[in-house]
Each structure stands twice: as structure tokens, then as C-alpha cells.
Amino acid sequence: MTKKKIRWLLGLTGQVCLLTALVLVATGCPLLFPPADGGEGEGEGEGEGEPPVVEPEPPGSAVAPGINVSEVAVTIPADNRPEVTFIAKDNAGNLIPRQEITGSSFILDYLETPTAGSTARYISYTTRIENPDGVANNGDEEVQATYDSAGLNGLTQANDGTFTYKFATAISAKAINTAAVHQLGAQIRRLSVIDNLTYIANVIHRFRPDGVAVAASQTREIVKTEVCNECHTRLALHGGSRREVQLCILCHNTQTIDANTDNKVDFPVMIHKIHYGESLPSVEAGEPYVIWGNRNSIHDYSEVVFPQDVRNCTKCHTGGSQSDVYKMQPTLAGCAACHDRTWFGNPDQTPEGYTTHLGGQQVNDSLCVICHPADSPGVAPILQAHLIPQNSNDAPGLTFAITEVTPIPAKQGTQLEVSFTVANDSGPVIDLATLNSAAINVAYPASDYETNIREALIGTGAPVGTLVNNGDGSYDYTFAALLPAESTDTFAVGLEGRVAFTFRGATYRQGTDTNAVTFFTLDGSEPVQRRIVVDEATKCNKCHGDLRMHGENRTDVDYCLFCHNPNTTDISRRPAEQLPPETVNMKDMIHKIHTGEELSGEYTVYGFGGTAHNFTEVHFPGDRRKCDICHVAGSTDLPLAEEALPTTIAQGETIISQVPPTRAACTSCHDDVLTSIHAIANTVDSVESCWVCHGPGHDFDIARVHLLEP
């Protein structure tokens, strides 16, 4: 090999793919590097005694993972087969060779001119005919938007590293509106030789064929991907390669219908229906909502439960340049997707089980906003129709605040006096009796609660202690139950309650805005707050909106832990024939609930009134490997906090099982037998050694084994 034959490898001028070169050398393949000037180099062994020529490595020459696509351009040449050019680089800035691109799919849409009252939709140049039974021309075919058919065969790479994708589909010259906004979508896969992992790039590129810049208003940006990912972790549909909403809407448009069911898979229709799930009027009427997917896979969304009040439209509709279109420009497609048993056709032809639209027949979207403006006045304004009762002006509001905690020595222990205030949105609530329930709880030790004492303030059996109304919205309550005579532990006390109110002729309940959890000690020392594992404001409420359990009463995770501690089971509500009891310890319970249908075994808990709650049907919308969906930073690191207690299931005085804290946390998700055996084998005399392998920086670090694929 000559000395000057450098810079050429796999057709990438000026770009050395180091790892590929090493592979070629290792397999005995000669590497030929033509000189940069095109001249002939000297033969081997010539120029003896001269130092070797060493050129500096170009920036970013260390091969790296990842794929980043830039410099995207689209042209429509004379043959009307669009051509896309782009550059693909790894995370170090190196050009990626064509050999590492294992998948490329492209679609090109234009933004239609909407009819009166409608929103502009993308229409694909490429479509296919879907035959559910494989028989053509028998009347059951449906059109579907799809990707161009060229795939990898349409992808080439020039010597300077530029990729070109040539569409197989020729666009009819009559179909091209050069002044219309066009949107290119692409999904590109790279199988990296450095780590054998597949990296995915979703490409979105807007342009006008006439070269005029695209204005911000000339788009369709109603839902943002990052908003979806607050619940879904990372959108990864159809094999994991479609991750951007702007890519989804290029196929899921008005062109696309499921040929098996005739259900529209137009994005606003399909997404509204999926998220409404089991509460869809059609589903409640006994008609499942089903979509047939790739290779006739059946997806039944009739059991989907949205994790918060579905009337909270801004959970999804926020952040985009047109996110407020749901209230500013209502359409039949969007509204009738949820209200799918409202008949917008000829009132004289209303099908059985449907409710006739009060505004009469609607042939298009042009009249919707007349009766349904964003807000009052109007016959049925959007915001008023979707108003959550607890957020209305009719809801009085309820706020507890603990002002003082006083331990009082007694003969056989410590009495506890708690001073607190009660207020609503208009000022103090003078009479606590205006609430329809209220209670006070004390739990200890705060390091990991073992004991909880709940005493009602009003309602059944209340009060058992001494309640003093000070007449100004403040109260003093002395517990009937005694705390220990002496203790160095930290204790916690909190309040719960709810008030009834009337909204549009119906009665609703509103809980307190906080449980006012307060930490204290009996000996006057500084209290130590319980370790923070999750935070409802920044974690739970991302999906749940405003997490409230047990009839609006309980809203703070700290307060939930009072009852849902390592010693608590459902034995008090579980039927005798269904014993033994099940743990409702917070971490075990929440892990199992969120694992849901992925559990190996069943998880059924009995609640108030002996109601059975089978959580093995829950479908978690996110990826559970990403623990920080729920957990604050560092809270899942091993070893766990020393004060963490084992999960104990007892029946009377008999302990049925006692699971060490780390094993309890992990096997509540990984509940298969082999994982349990593994955990048991690495526990000696209740001492767990999990951290040896699964601790930070170790071979099977939790962060590493839970790592999402690229």
C-alpha cells in the first residue's frame, strides 16, 4: 500500500470511517487510499529514512453512536418524482456511511385549503388501497395514506456524504400547487457498527415548491410531541420508529380509513376516541372501539382509561402554535370523535341509540362556532361545556392549615393537640359542620411509617377526641388516642375533608387543596422530614392532572403514606373467602398498579364497601424502564435508605410474608418467579446484597438495565 493513498473509504471523500477500516484490516482486506491530488504515490519502501507523513485527524473523526439529519432540501424535477437531499452525521459530527442506513421511509404531503370552518389538513401524495380480505374490487377496499415505496432502493450517497432519496411515485403535475405548504416526513434507521444498536431519526421538513418561505401560521401544529411524552415517555409507534406527532399526521389524515372496520384513523378522530376509551358513548352502548393494524393485528381501545378528567382538553392541547383550535374552531371530526352518539345528520333519520344534535343537521364545520364559541356568551361555549365542576365558580374551595402541634404529657402516654384553620375561597369557614366529612391523622415514625391513627372530626363516629371551635375559623383538636410517652422519632400529622356543592343541578364533592402534612417531635427536637421518593406536583400530576383519591379527600403523597405503609393490607375489607390479604404498601401497590397488564400474577385489592379492584387490566401509557417518570433523582439508587422497612403481610397475629425493602420494590414490577428466586438467593438473614451488582456504576446498575433503546 502506498504512503499517500489516503482519504478514501467507502465513497466518503474527506471522511474516514475508522471502525469500518479496522474491520477491513482485521479481515485481511487491503485498504486503498487514493491521493488527494489524484497523482501516483511512491512505491512501498521508497524514500527510506524519511519520517512517515502523518496528517491531523479531521474534526469529529472518532466514530460515535447516534444519527442526526440536517441540510434537508426537496426538489420536484421534470419527472415529478420528488428528490430529497440531506446529511446524516453521528453524535461526534462524522458522516454516516450508506452501509449503516438500514431503513428509510419517506412521505410527502401538502397542506390543503380548508373549507369554511374547518382546519387545514395534510394530504399525502402517496396512497394505497387496503383490501381487508385480499380480494380486489369487491366493494370493501379503502384508501390509506402511506409512505413512498422506494425505501432503501431509493437512497444513494454521493462522495461528499450527501444522501439523496428519489421517490418511486411520480406526482401528477396537475396535483402540485407550488404555493401550498408541503411537509416532508421521514423515518431513517442507522445500525451502528460501533455498538450494534439501531438509532432512529424522524425528519420533518416544511417548504413551498415556489421557494417562498413558510409562515408560522401556515402549519398544522395542534399537539406537540413533548406534551404527549409527559405521559407516553417517548412516542414509538409502528415498530418504534415513528416518534413525532408531525410525522403521524401525514398518514393519519382524512384519506385514511381502516378497511376492516370502516373506522377513521384520522388523527383527531382516532386520538380522541383512544383517550376517551371505555367512556366513549359508543363503548358504553356495547360497541367496542377497534382498529385493525399491520398484518391484521387487532387493537381494542375499549378498555382504555384516561388517567385524569378527559374534559381537561389542555392536557394535550397546549404549547403548539394552533393548540387552541379545539375551542376557537370546533369541527365535526374533533367533537364527534368523543361525542360519538350525537347525531349531526337529518334529525328525522336519527339512528336508535343516538341523541339528535340540538342544532339540527350539520353538513360541514361552517356553523359550529356560532353555537360553540370558545367562551360565553353562546348556546354551548366550548370552555363551559368542558368545565370541570371542581374548577367552576360554584365550587367553594377548601383549605386546611395546621398552625400549631402541641404534645401534652399524660399518665400513660402523650396527648396530642393540633390547632388548625379551615377556609374556603371566600374566607374562613366558621363552622366545620358545613363540610360533609373531615378527619385528622397522625402517623409515625416519619422515617418509614408503621403506625397510623385516624380520628374523624365530623361524620360517622365523630368526634372521639375533643374538638374546640374558636369561632374565627380556627379549631383545636385533642386526640383521644395516646402517642408514646417518650420518643425521639419524628411524627407527622395531616387533615382531610371535603365539601358538597351544586353545579348545574347536580351535587359534587370537592376535597381540600392540600392535606397540610406537618412534621413534629415529642421532645422538642428538630423534626426530620420523611425522605422524598416521588413528588405529586412534578411527577404524578403530569399524567393525573390533580391526583385525588378516596372521594377527593387525599391529595398529598406524604399523606397517602400514612395509611399505605409497609404494614398495611386490605384485610379489613377483603372477604373471608378471599384471604390471605394483599399488601397496599405504597411502593408495592403503585408499582403493581402501573405495571398492570404486564404483571405475571394477579393484583386485586379490596377497597371501600368490599369492592374488588383488579389492577391487572391497567395499561400504563409510558415506559416503566424510565423510573424518573415517577421517582425524584437518586431515590431509586441502591442501597435503599437504611430506614426503609420490609413489606409485611399479616393475618391476625400470624405473619404470612415479610419481604425485604429492595426485593419488595423490584419484584412488585418484576413479579415473575425467577426474579424472586434470584432476590431471595442474594439475601442472607434479611440483609440484601442487591447493591453489589445493581448499585450505581456496577455491572448491572439499575440505570443501565433500565436504559431505553436509542
Domain stop point among 505, 536, 558: 558
Residue 186 C-alpha cell reads as 421521514
Number of C-beta neighbours around residue 411 at 10 A: 7
Q: What is the DSSP string of 19-76?
A: HHHHHHHHTTPPP----TTS-PPPPTT-STTSPPP-PPPPTT-S-----EEEEEEEE-
Helix or strand holding residue 667 (H, E): helix 661-667
Q: Does residue 506 lie within any of the structural domains? A: yes
Q: What is the pLDDT of residue 13?
A: 35
* Residue 292 domain flag: no
Count up the domains in the chain and report the number.
4
What does the alpha-carbon distance between residue 299 and residue 277 come to, in Å, rounded to a whole number? 12
Residues 221 and 161 in one domain: yes
Q: Which residues of the chain have pLDDT under 50?
A: 1-48, 57, 59
For residue 151, is it within any domain? yes
In angstroms, the Cα distances linking 679 to 206, 570, 663, 673 are 53, 25, 6, 10
Residue 403 shares a structural domain with residue 537: yes
We report the CATH number of the domain holding residue 439 as 2.60.40.10
Say yes or no: 406 and 520 in one domain.
yes
644 in a domain, yes or no? yes
Task: State which H helix or E strand residue 593 sits in.
Answer: helix 586-595
In one-letter notation, the amino acid at residue 340 is D
- Cell 431515590 maps to which residue? 635
Grid cell digits, residue 432:
366545620
Q: Answer whether 381's CB lies under 8 Å from 373's CB.
A: yes
Flag whether 468 is in a domain.
yes
What whole-number distance in Å separates Cα of residue 444 and Cα of residue 454? Answer: 12
Domain containing 369 equals: 313-388
Residues 435 and 526 in one domain: yes
Whether residue 418 sits in one domain with residue 549? yes
Asked whether residue 368 falls in the same domain as residue 449, the answer is no
Question: In whole angstroms, what is the distance from residue 647 CA to residue 671 CA?
Answer: 15
The secondary structure element, H or E, covering residue 416 is strand 413-424
The distance from CA 700 to its chain's CA centroid, rounded to whole angstroms, is 26
Contact assessment for residue 389 and residue 395, using Cβ atoms and an 8 Å cutoff: yes
HEC string for 473-509: CEEEEECCCCECCCCCCEEEEEEEEEEEEEECCEEEE
Residue 317 inside a domain? The answer is: yes
> Which tens digit of pLDDT belongs to each residue from 562-581?
999 999 999 999 999 999 99
**Domain co-membership, 354 together with 408:** no
Cβ atoms within 10 Å, residue 260: 17
Q: What does pTM read for this prediction?
A: 0.88
On the question of a cis peptide bond just before residue 639, with omega within 30 degrees of 0, the verdict is yes
Q: Does residue 592 contact residue 647 with C-beta atoms inside 8 Å?
A: no
Of 189, 221, 256, the residue at which a domain comes to its end is 256
Q: Are residues 442 and 549 in the same domain?
A: yes
- Residue 58, in any domain of the structure: no
Q: Cell numbers for 16, please give them.
A: 474516514
Rounded CA separation 304/274 (Å)? 7
Q: Which of 352, 369, 388 is the last residue of a domain?
A: 388
For residues 139 and 205, membership in a common domain is answered with yes
Residue 514 and residue 467 share a domain: yes
Instruction: Count the Cβ atoms, other than its own, within 10 Å of residue 578.
Output: 13
Residue showing cell 524519511: 50
Q: Are residues 440 and 509 both part of a single domain?
A: yes
Question: What pLDDT is stored for residue 472 in this prediction?
Answer: 92
- Please, how many CA atoms are within 13 Å of residue 318, restricted to the half-sphere of its CB? 10
Strand (E) or helix (H) holding 557: helix 557-563
Same domain as 537, residue 477: yes
Give the integer Cα–Cα distance in Å for 364 and 345: 10
Length of the chain: 710
- Is residue 48 situated within a structural domain? no
Could you tell me if 515 and 440 are in contact, meaning their C-beta atoms sit under 8 angstroms apart? no
pLDDT in tens, 302-314: 999 999 999 999 9
Residue listed under C-alpha cell 409507534: 237
